[in-house]
Chain A
Amino acid sequence: MTGQLIQSLVDALSAGATLGLAALSIGLVFGVIRLANFAQAEIITASAYCLIFTWQLGWFIAVPLSMLVAVAMSLLMEFAVFSRMRSANPATLLIASFGLSFLLQRVYELMFSNNVRTAPVASGLAQTVEFAGVRIQLLSVATITIAGLLLLGLHLFLSRTSMGLQLKAAAADFRTARLVGIPAGRVIALSFALSGILAAAVAFVLTVQSGAVGPTFGVQITILALVGAVIGGIDKISGSLAGGFLVGFVTSLLATWLPQEMSNFKDAYVFVLVIGVLLFRPSGLLIKGRGVART
């Protein structure tokens, strides 16, 4: 029983970490330009396709390449679409990203067909190890490690470098940041690039998990990430991260512990929870007071 408990906790931590990263990748961009980018899903998908197609060349090629693809796509979206919509409100931006997401999915369908593509990406991680009577998925441990390292790196970047500081300032108060002399285009591009790196990490974890990628690969996690970011407080970088983590953690635990006939409804419980949170803390769990969200 305790073994099972620990096992489910590790799995939930890993699910939370993945979703936390995904939510963070959305929150980073939102903080700066008020865009909740639904098309983050297609960045994840592109990066995952890249992993699948290039895995046989070796991980040391496939992984950097998949990151490159994610960053490039992220920047491309910014320059081709979102940079032209600076004065639009968040709702319009969300719809635009929705449209972009739909569009790219169809492009993937045309390019790679509707069927999933498979490859044994990092199949070594798909094993289960037994440790003191507790069976633990190697991938869960790897996910938690990857997320931890990325967050540490991001934290150091944001707090120790000038560019990071500028990004933090822009995310907190974009208008003032510009007035102080922080170049808008550069921090926005930076936020998209970082968001791309996080998306690549999410893509890696998910691809190892499933080994199969289709045109709508990134959609499910992006929806949950968006939801998580909003309930955590998408206005704050830490809010998105925490909200994403929470949703992933809770969903995973519900999936494990709810009886079969109820676990079908696990997403429904999470969504009800979401509505509840939004009702009492409309600006997010981590944001003090009501209605401070600048949306």
Chain B
Amino acid sequence: MTTSPRGLWYRLGPIWSLVSLLAIVYVVTLINSFLGESVQVQLQYALVNLIIVVALQIFIGTSGVLSFGHVAFVAVGAWTVGLLTIDPELKRNLLPDLFPFLFDLNAPWLVAVVIGGVVGGLLALVVSPVLMRLNGLQAGIATFALLGVVNQVLTYWSSVGPRSGQSMVGIPDVLNLQTTMLFAMAAIVAAWLFQRTRPSRLLRAAREDGIAAASSGINVVSQRIIVFAVSGIVAGVAGGLFALTNRVVQSSQLNIELTFVTLAMLVLGGMLSLSGAVIGTLVFSLVDVLLVRMQNGLEIGAYVVSVPQGARAIILGLILVGMLLFRPSGITGGREFVWPFRSDRPLPGMPPTNES
């Protein structure tokens, strides 16, 4: 903190914050990979969630508009990867009502994930001219409605998926923890780079001062559309990875509950910074892992710490509500995290969040 404003750390700050985030993800993955199979599985889900939360942050953190709809992009990403990677023979048997052309459509999983991202981004792009005009509560409700529509379509439209009540099975086991981690890191890098682009900067400026932005001629809606589509791509990729991690996809898994959990992670970390997305997800997932362990009795030395079955979700809920009550700007307070130096300099066009 003794460095002058023009000091080396100051200029390196943004890159350094990126490096620290990547390092954190790496270290967390490394440590956890020694902790046994079940933790590894949980961690892989956590990393997929991390990408969803990053997608949410790209949009919410930049525009200041609430979205309950991103899980819709996750869902179409997951659907896409499911359809493209399940063995054609299996598909014919398990998903008999599919459009015929889908039977033989097949792609290597990596390509499928990329296409999942494209589909997620396209859906976001298609609905954005409508959704991006709205603000505040209206935007929240409209994005929620989008999730509702997509979820119902995926649940009941057997021409693009399983019959209602059934799930898509037979997704190949190809994704390991390391690869998932690389995807998570890539998402972080992508989000970080995107923060530095013009649409993102303009939108942050507009978020801070709607009137000034409007009078300086920024077309908020069109900037928002770009940002929404980009976050849709990231969410679509996350959906693809979810499909490969879970290996079974069902529309009920990609609905309100996931929306809530990922939003909770983002709120916990702090919506206004990328660090918030990363740290919120990791902290939330870590606490979750611990609580699951404690439900089964966690041994620390000679002591056994345990919490009653079902207490896990309650404690997670309490943490979230407590956070909103006492520190609504999240763990990071909306600042980028710079390890080991605390950066007091918020991102350009990103003020410290109001204390309220």
Contacts and interface: CB of A to CB of B under 8 A. Distances in A.
A touching B, CB within 8 angstroms: yes
A91 B321 contact: no
Q: Which of A36, A95, A106 has the most CB of B within 10 A?
A: A95
B214 interface: no
Contacts of B264: 99, 102
B134 to A, nearest CB: 6
Given A103-B317, A264-B152, A279-B133, A95 B267 contact: yes
Nearest to A94: B140
A182 B140 CA distance: 31
B136 A96 contact: no
Contacts of A103: 313-314, 317-318, 320-321
B26 interface: no
A271 B145 contact: yes
Interface string B318-356: 101100110010000000000000000000000000001
Given A92-B324, A278-B142, A102 B317 contact: yes
Interface in A148-186: none
Nearest to A235: B137
Contacts of A59: none
SS of A interface (majority): helix
Nearest to A96: B324
Given A100-B321, A293-B138, A295-B138, A94 B146 contact: no
Nearest to A266: B152
B190 interface: no
B297 interface: no
Contacts of A85: 324-325, 328
B186 interface: no
A268 B138 contact: no
A5 interface: no
Contacts of A91: 66, 136-137, 140
A234 B149 contact: no
Interface residues of A, number: 44
Contacts of A283: 138
A106 B263 contact: no
Contact of A90 (B137, B153, B260, B318): B137
Nearest to B66: A91
Contacts of B138: 230, 278, 282-283, 293, 295
B164 A268 contact: no
Contact of A230 (B130, B141, B153, B317): B141
B164 to A, nearest CB: 7
Contact of B145 (A102, A227, A282): A227
Contacts of B142: 274-275, 278
Q: Which of B146, B264, B313, B324 has the most CB of A within 10 A?
A: B324
Given A85-B325, A268-B152, A275-B146, A94 B320 contact: no
Contacts of B144: 223, 227
Contacts of A219: 256
A78 interface: no
B133 A282 contact: yes
Contact of A110 (B149, B153, B156, B308): B308
Interface in B240-276: 256, 260, 263-264, 267
A275 B130 contact: yes
Interface string B171-198: 0000000000000000000000000000
Contacts of B66: 91, 94-95
A95 B263 contact: yes
Given A227-B145, A265-B156, A271-B149, A84 B137 contact: no
A129 interface: no
Nearest to A279: B130
Interface string A82-112: 0011011111101110111011101101100
B136 A88 contact: no
Contact of B134 (A81, A107, A282): A282
Which 9 pairs across A and B sit closest by C-beta, in order of nearness?
A: A103-B317, A295-B136, A87-B356, A271-B145, A106-B313, A264-B156, A268-B152, A271-B148, A99-B320
19 contacts: A81-B321, A91-B137, A94-B66, A96-B324, A98-B260, A99-B320, A99-B324, A102-B264, A103-B317, A106-B310, A110-B308, A227-B144, A264-B155, A268-B152, A274-B142, A275-B131, A278-B138, A278-B141, A278-B145
Given A85-B324, A110-B311, A271-B149, 10 more contacts: A95-B66, A99-B267, A227-B144, A230-B138, A264-B156, A267-B152, A268-B149, A278-B141, A282-B134, A295-B138
